[in-house]
Every structure is written in C-alpha cells, then in structure tokens.
Amino acid sequence: MSRIGKLPIDIPSGISVELDGSHVTVKGTNGTLERSFSPLINIAKEGERIIVTRDSDEKHVRALHGTTRAVIQNMVTGIHVGFTILLGQGIQFSYILFHAIPVQQVQKSVSLLDSPHPRPR
C-alpha cells in the first residue's frame, strides 16, 4: 500500500467535505474546491477523516492512490489556511485560492501589477 495514500486526511473544524462517488467538494471560509478523481480509487468519509483506498495493485493504480490522497489533502489545506510562497531574499507572498493578481513579465523578472498586500520596505 502507498505510504502517502494510506494516511487518513483530517478534516479541520469549519471545513465541510462532500463525496459523490469519485467527485469531492471541499467548502470553507476561503471558498469552494471541486474535483473528480479516477473511479479506480475509493474515497470514503469516516467521521472527521477522509480515507483513500484502492482495490488493485497495478502500477498505475498505485500511483493514482498516493496522488489522489495528496491532491485531496492540498484541497483541504488550501480552503482552510491558504498557501504562502517564498519568492526569495525574504520576500513572502501569501494568497488565498481564487484571488487573481495580474502579472507582467519584463525580461527575466516578474512584477505584480496589483498586489493586495503591499511589499514591506
């Protein structure tokens, strides 16, 4: 069994997860994410945990097992706390899913045109 795939996913308070076959919907204060997964992977909700299992030991099914679990975990994390990207040299950029920021590329550097959080000086 996949080392990543066999780990249960804890659902934090304030987050709701709905399962409809292989379709997963995660809702919370930061928005909603939906995704359909392969029917070869079984996804079940047991209390406040999500369990991802597989029926086959074929190589591509084993690969899908760990990947599916990791994607669902990232969906839950993204809706619960958002993500932070470290851009280098101590500059930190935080964002919440579904927030679009226009970007302009000038030669080899990238400039944020309309940042919701001004850069510290």
pLDDT band at 83 (very low <50, low <70, confident <90, very high): confident
pLDDT band at 99 (very low <50, low <70, confident <90, very high): very low
Whole-number Cα distances in Å, 58 to 7, 43, 74: 20, 18, 25
pLDDT tens digits for 16-57?
Answer: 999 999 999 999 988 899 999 999 999 999 999 999 999 999
Residue 39's φ and ψ, nearest 5 degrees, are -70, -10
Query: Which of 55, 72, 62 is closest to 9 using CA atoms?
Result: 72
Angle at 96 between CA 5 and CA 44, to 5 degrees: 30
**Collapsed DSSP state (helix, strand, coil) of residue 8:** coil
To which residue do tokens 């359909």 refer?
36
The domains found in the chain, sorted by start residue, are 9-80 (3.90.930.12), 83-112 (no CATH)
Q: How far apart are CA 40 and CA 4, in angstroms?
A: 17
Structure tokens belonging to residue 91 = 């500059």
Q: How far apart are CA 121 and CA 118, in angstroms?
A: 9
